[in-house]
Chains A and B, each alone.
Chain A
Amino acid sequence: MASFQAVKKSINLAPTVRALPSGVPAAPLLNLTTRAPVDHHGHGHGHGSSGPRADVPPSWAGGVSKSSFGLFTKTYTTAPAPKLFQQRLLHTSAVVKDAPEVPDFSHYRAPNTDNNRALSYFMVGTMGVLSASVAKSSVSEFLQTMAASADVLALAKVEVDLSTIPEGKNVIIKWRGKPVFIRHRTQSEIDEARSADWKTFRDPESDEARAKKPEWLVMLGVCTHLGCVPIGEAGDYGGWFCPCHGSHYDISGRARKGPAPLNLEVPAHDFNDAEGKLVIG
């Protein structure tokens, strides 16, 4: 029974009851791409290979005549069309194509891509330049926040007028919260400091390495033992003596006796010869 229904369905063509999404009526057993036979001259003026048109109305039914006033048309009777001359297709929908035609984009294409390529690279590179600048600026600005501010830097240096210190005298100044000894040494003190056999000392250091100018000795006045402030022109070696635990320093500030492990520290300092000043820091 089922096979009979299928045969009957294939013989009696099913009516179109629905449309496909493309708009084409759903007719599964019909070939919708069928067209009328090609006839180049079947378009109405009677000279085709198939001869004059057979559907021209007879002249007694009327027609078009040419007069001096123009075209003149007259119809005497309504003549029926002699025969069906136009094959009717099933529908007039657009034909669905498997591969749609690709439009011609050649008008929009660049004739020469070198400029576009260079411009693209240029824009990317400009972006890179700006990004690198921003990154470098961020890093350097962040690092500058760690630097000392101007007021701290201003306090970090001390100037001493050397002309006010007579020979053979000590001066104690405050620098970064610590005392600094400045000794204007006499020639005999210089000779004594330089002639000592410094290689046998506890912290071997030559006087030439400690004093930039032999007559000026600049040291931090903090005992290297436990941080007391030594007393000047005292001790067994004519230099400094720490009263806390009895450390003796010589005229070059080197630890000679007592518990002090190191020589008195020499801060970074410079001499301004033009103005006769000492700059510590």
Chain B
Amino acid sequence: MSVSIFLKHLAATAYNTIFRRNSVYVGSVFAAAFVFGIGFDSGVTAFWDSWNKGKQWKDIRHKYVQDEE
């Protein structure tokens, strides 16, 4: 029951803050697209790195290149 009340408040708040004015709506859509793009890129990159762990140059570089200290 409290969940439904929370959802109701969430819906009303979201409508009043974001959806009511189209300029705010479109702006928040673009902002969300920006954030989503960054998150998606970093997520896919993290997955790629974990899937190819030990195969990439940055993982094996220390075996071949000794930086001068």
Interface of B is mostly: helix
User: Is the beta-carbon distance between B33 and A121 smaller than 8 angstroms?
Assistant: no
Cβ-defined partner of B32 (8 Å) among A112, A121, A129 = A129
| Interface positions of B from 16 to 55, Cβ below 8 Å from A | 18-19, 25-26, 28-30, 32-34, 36-37, 40
Q: Which residues of A contact B25 (CB under 8 A)?
A: 121, 125
Q: Which residues of A contact B10 (CB under 8 A)?
A: 118
How large, as a class, is the contact surface on chain A? Answer: 10 to 19
Q: Given A114-B8, A115-B7, A133-B40 in contact, is the A125-B32 Cβ separation under 8 Å?
A: yes
- Tell me, in angstroms, the Cα distance from A137 to B40 when the chains sit together: 11
How large, as a class, is the contact surface on chain B? Answer: 20 to 34
Nearest B residue to A135 via CB reads B33
Q: Which residues of B contact A122 (CB under 8 A)?
A: 14
User: Is the beta-carbon distance between A132 and B11 smaller than 8 angstroms?
Assistant: no
Q: Given A114-B15, A118-B15, A121-B25 in contact, is the A133-B37 Cβ separation under 8 Å?
A: yes
A: which residues have CB within 8 A of B?
Answer: 112, 114-115, 117-119, 121-122, 125, 128-130, 132-133, 136-137
10 smallest CB-CB distances across A and B, nearest first, come from A118-B11, A132-B33, A128-B29, A121-B19, A129-B32, A115-B11, A133-B33, A129-B33, A114-B11, A118-B15
